[in-house]
């Protein structure tokens, strides 16, 4: 809200340092009563609290000058903050609005001329109010008083004189109240300091007694603590020796149970490989940054094995005895068995794997040779069974063919005998001799005898 200075319409008003005397006796008496009342203000305000004086000043200003708006802002001498009070005639509920409007005027740094009047809107109706602003001087601090009225002649020289006189009395009252407040505060502080000193002396005596008691007790506790500390030091030394021995045993076990140690990161690439790998003719640094399947040579031949292994790694599960094929330093085929365990930090974040690896080429070769031997033995057993079966089939065929040949010869003889008109004994004798000859030769002419012999000889051909 902007406030605009307005040039006074009366050119007959005397300057600020001259007060025109009224021409009628009643007005003069009223003004004299106001001056006497102003002189009595310090006595009226004496003994009041510092925070109550601004409200009392506004009450005197509003009643004596018939103001529509009165505002005062004074710095608190105790340093707790500014004392700000506003009064709107007939509208105590508009105090916040009046404080806002008057505060804008109070923030202006330029001092208006005595011949000029300031204008600000009425908080209740919005009508223009003629206002004046007077600085409130305090030691080391500044304040401001704003008085506003609807009267077009406000402020008259006498009203300005009264306003300045009231503010002067208010400054005196504020100084006195600040001094009294400071004096009371100093007295209170002195009493508090005296009481604190007495309490401190009593506490000092009690503290000395307590300290003496605690020194004796503490000395006894320190003696016990020293003894306990000596025992703890001895126990710690024994524990450290046991730990070093355990670490050495673990190191010996790791070195004897495997050829080299390794570590991988969260992406399963090698981050550390022990120097034992150099005994295999491989530089450990060449493995750093690569994954296990980057150096394997059987990934394409056994994709299912590697798929399951990578799935185990992604699931952060331990694995043991995983065997894969790789190339040695000289290009030869090398078989490696590796085992690993996942590593996590305190927050259960996966850090990678730690594990061991061994060259199991000799064991794999031996296993392959053993498998080949078992396969050869199985093939030899099969051939033996087939040979035995052939011999058995030949024996069975021989034993069966003999009766079949005799049966075929007899059948041929009977057919020949039946084919004659009158069979004779000679014919029958001849048939008998013919049958014996056929039996001796092991064959017959009857067509049904040949399929039976062929069926018996078929297993032998196998």
Q: What are phi and psi of 150, to 5 degrees?
A: -80, -20
DSSP string, 12-28: -PPPTT--PPPSSHHHH
From first to last of its 462 residues, what are the pLDDT tens digits of the chain?
444 444 333 333 444 444 455 557 777 777 777 777 777 677 667 666 766 777 777 777 777 777 878 887 776 655 556 677 777 776 776 667 766 676 666 666 455 544 456 777 877 777 888 777 777 766 555 677 888 888 877 888 887 888 888 777 777 777 777 777 778 788 888 888 888 888 888 888 888 988 899 899 989 989 999 999 999 999 999 999 888 888 777 666 665 555 788 899 999 899 888 877 776 667 778 888 888 898 888 888 889 989 999 999 999 999 988 988 888 777 788 888 889 999 999 898 999 998 888 888 888 878 778 888 888 888 888 888 888 877 777 777 777 777 777 787 878 888 878 877 655 555 455 555 555 555 555 444 444 445 555 555 555 555
Q: Give the distance, in angstroms, between the CA of residue 5 and the centroid of all CA atoms in the same chain.
A: 62
Both 351 and 406 in a single domain?
Answer: no
In a domain, 203, yes or no: no
Both 287 and 413 in a single domain?
Answer: no
Both 346 and 419 in a single domain?
Answer: no
Both 92 and 145 in a single domain?
Answer: yes
Please confirm whether the linkage preceding 155 is cis (ω < 30° from 0): yes
Q: What is the pLDDT of residue 373?
A: 83
- Rounded Cα distance between 9 and 5, Å, is 12
**Which residue, 324, 359, 394, sits at the end of a domain?**
359
**Which residue, 156, 185, 214, sits at the end of a domain?**
185
Region label for 353, one of left (φ > 0), alpha (ψ between -120 and 50) or beta (otherwise) = beta
**pTM for the full predicted model:** 0.35
Both 21 and 165 in a single domain?
Answer: yes
In a domain, 354, yes or no: yes
Q: What is the pLDDT of residue 304?
A: 92
- Rounded Cα distance between 198 and 186, Å, is 18
Boundaries of domain holding 181: 4-185
Query: Based on the number of CB atoms within 10 Å of its own CB, is 299 exposed (0-12), middle (13-18) or buried (19 or more)?
Result: middle
In a domain, 277, yes or no: yes
- Rounded Cα distance between 307 and 303, Å, is 6
Both 21 and 92 in a single domain?
Answer: yes
In a domain, 427, yes or no: yes
Q: What is the pLDDT of residue 47?
A: 65
Both 398 and 302 in a single domain?
Answer: no
């Amino acid at each position: 809200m902007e406030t605009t200075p307005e040039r006074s319409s009366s050119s007959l008003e005397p300057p600020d340092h001259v007060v025109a005397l009224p021409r009628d006796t009643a007005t003069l008496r009223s003004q004299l009563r106001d001056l006497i009342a102003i002189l009595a203000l310090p006595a009226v305000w004496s003994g009041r609290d510092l925070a109550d004086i601004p409200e009392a000043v506004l009450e005197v200003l509003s009643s004596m000058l018939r103001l529509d708006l009165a505002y005062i802002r004074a710095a608190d001498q105790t340093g707790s903050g500014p004392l700000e009070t506003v009064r709107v005639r007939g509208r105590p509920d508009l105090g916040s609005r009046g404080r806002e409007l008057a505060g804008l005027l109070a923030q202006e740094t330029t001092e208006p001329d005595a011949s000029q009047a300031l204008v600000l809107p009425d908080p209740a109706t919005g009508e223009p109010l003629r206002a004046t602003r007077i600085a409130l001087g305090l030691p080391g601090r500044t304040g401001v008083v704003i008085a506003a009225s609807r009267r077009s002649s406000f402020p008259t020289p006498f009203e300005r004189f009264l306003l300045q006189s009231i503010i002067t009395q208010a400054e005196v009252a504020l100084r006195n109240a600040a001094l009294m407040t400071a004096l009371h505060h100093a007295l209170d502080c002195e009493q508090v300091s005296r009481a604190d000193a007495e309490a401190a002396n009593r506490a000092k005596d009690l503290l000395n007694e307590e300290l003496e008691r605690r020194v004796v007790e503490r000395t006894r506790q320190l003696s016990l603590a020293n003894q306990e500390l000596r025992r703890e030091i001895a126990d710690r030394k024994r524990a450290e020796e046991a730990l070093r021995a355990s670490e050495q045993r673990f190191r010996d076990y790791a070195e004897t149970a495997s050829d080299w140690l390794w570590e991988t990161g969260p992406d399963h690439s090698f981050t550390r490989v022990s120097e034992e790998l150099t005994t295999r003719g491989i530089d450990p640094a060449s493995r750093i940054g690569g994954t296990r399947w980057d150096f394997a040579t059987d990934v394409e031949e056994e994709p299912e094995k590697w798929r399951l292994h990578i799935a185990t790694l992604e699931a952060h599960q331990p694995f043991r005895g995983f065997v894969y094929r790789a190339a040695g330093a000289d290009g030869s085929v090398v078989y490696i068995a590796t085992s690993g365990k996942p590593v996590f930090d305190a927050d259960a974040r996966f850090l990678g794997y730690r594990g061991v690896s061994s060259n199991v080429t000799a064991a794999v070769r031996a296993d392959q040779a053993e498998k080949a031997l078992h396969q050869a033995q199985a093939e030899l057993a099969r051939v033996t069974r087939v040979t035995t079966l052939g011999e058995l089939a030949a024996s069975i065929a021989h034993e069966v063919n003999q009766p079949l040949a005799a049966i075929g010869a007899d059948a041929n003889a009977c057919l020949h005998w039946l084919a004659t008109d009158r069979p004779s004994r000679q014919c029958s004798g001849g048939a008998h001799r013919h049958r014996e000859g056929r039996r001796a030769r092991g064959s017959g002419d009857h067509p049904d005898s040949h399929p039976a012999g062929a069926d018996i000889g078929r297993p032998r051909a196998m």
